[in-house]
Amino acid sequence: MSVFTKIIGTGTYLPEVVVKNQDFRNNIFFEDYGKRLEKDAKEVIDKLYQITGIKERRYARKDQTNSVIASQAARLAIADAGIDSESLDYIIFAHNYGDIAYGDRHSDFVPSLAARVKHSLQIKNPWCTAYDIAFGCPGWVEAMIQADYFIKSGDAKRILVIGAETLSRISDPHDRDGMIFADGAGAVVVEGVESDTAIGVLGHLSRTDSAEEAYYLKNGKSFNPNFEGDNFFIKMQGRKVYEYALKYVPDLIKRLLDRLNLSIDDIHKVLIHQANEKMDIAIGQRLYKLYGKQMPADAMPVTITYLGNSSVGTIPTMLDIILKGKLENHYINKGDIVIFASVGAGMNINALVYKF
């Protein structure tokens, strides 16, 4: 018998504050070189919807930080798993901006957010090691990969893996791309199980391209040259990211499936980071085209339309929503093989194949 890494519980916290597209109608938008856009806000918003598919997104309340919403998701995942939180060997928290207080835009990383979650959960076990991982939007998938290594090495039995972000706190109100970003938290509990047949995590693959691509996503000043106050906003070269993702994500997924002796016909769902609906669909279509096939209409779930892009939070929240039967026409049953895949700052790409 072999040891496999199995998900035994999932949890999601979706902030209560819903921000619709029309809520940006009074924003003044600028180009990245400080020139005001000639288009009015409604036209900019409509164009964004056509490209990204986003109708609304969630923002954390003013009194919440990233570690706060992550703790909420963690509690739900632990309850879903039906375990004692003291039995956790690791807490791995994937994020990129730490805790940012409302109206502050300063990242707070000390202590680590994983340690803050452990404190919030009141876990006393000193051997439950808590640490953070920053890997761009693919951070949660990479944290899952690390958890798989810990479990298969015999170093751990149970691990809490969190992906959470509050991108609303560092979104430039004068940058049209700022409307893409959102807040959210997802968590899973994984456990090492012995099995004669392959279950749980079947394999994974990651890559980093930083020779030319490192700064496609970065921090920078407001596009509004007259913006007052501290300048610290997430900035994205949308076209560059789009081209990079289409070129490399399908190839990486196919390389992984080939390594596992699997075909796209063996895959029930492709859960891809919700960065941009148009881009994600194009990635899926290109992946299936590598096999000479058309992508089935129900192969790739979409949540960005009403949740926006919460970075590391998109895949674990989507997974929980599907498993709890809350995403129409999308289900995951025992025996289904699913791909988790993501692309983001670094530039980083990864994928993980999982059998339920």
| Tens digit of each residue's pLDDT (9 = 90 or more) over 329-352 | 999 999 999 999 999 999 999 999
Looking at per-residue confidence, does 302 or 104 come out higher? Answer: 302
Q: How many CB atoms lie within 10 A of CB 244?
A: 18
pLDDT for 228 equals: 79
Of 159-168, 217-226, 278-287, 307-316, the one with minimum mean pLDDT is 217-226
What pLDDT digit, counting tens, does each position of 140-178 carry? Answer: 999 999 999 999 999 999 999 999 999 999 999 999 999
Decide if 173 contacts 27 (C-beta within 8 A): yes
Answer whether residue 43 shows pLDDT above 80. yes
Residue 247 has what pLDDT?
A: 95
Q: What percentage of the chain carries pLDDT values higher than 90?
A: 90
Ranges 27-36, 51-60, 117-126: which has the least confidence = 27-36
| Predicted pLDDT of residue 46 | 93
Which pLDDT belongs to residue 230?
A: 66
Helices 277-289 and 238-259 cross at an angle (nearest 10°) of 40
Q: Which residues, including other chains, have CB under 8 Å from residue 301's CB and lie 6 or more apart?
A: 269, 271, 318, 322, 327, 330
pLDDT given for residue 105 in this prediction: 79
Q: What percent of the chain has pLDDT over 70?
A: 99
pLDDT of residue 180: 95
Residue 40 has pLDDT above 90, yes or no: no
Beta bridge partners of 44: none
Residues 193-208 pLDDT 10s: 999 999 999 999 999 9
Query: To the nearest 10°, the Cα dihedral for 73, 75, 78, 83?
Result: 180
What are φ and ψ of residue 94, in 5° steps?
-95, 125
Q: In whole numbers, what is the pLDDT of the chain averaged over residues?
A: 95
Dihedral pair phi/psi, residue 143, rounded to 5°: -65, -40
User: Can you tell me the mean pLDDT for 110-117?
Assistant: 97
Please report the domains of the chain, with CATH numbers, ordered by start residue. Answer: 2-195 (3.40.47.10), 200-355 (3.40.47.10)
Which pLDDT value is given to residue 6? Answer: 98
Which has the closest alpha carbon to 269: 351, 156, 151? 351
Q: How would you classify residue 164: left for phi > 0, otherwise alpha for psi between -120 and 50, otherwise beta? A: beta
When pLDDT is cut at 50, 70 and 90, the band that residue 22 belongs to is very high
**pLDDT, tens digit, 9 for 90 and up, residues 246-294:** 999 999 999 999 999 999 999 999 999 999 999 999 999 999 999 999 9
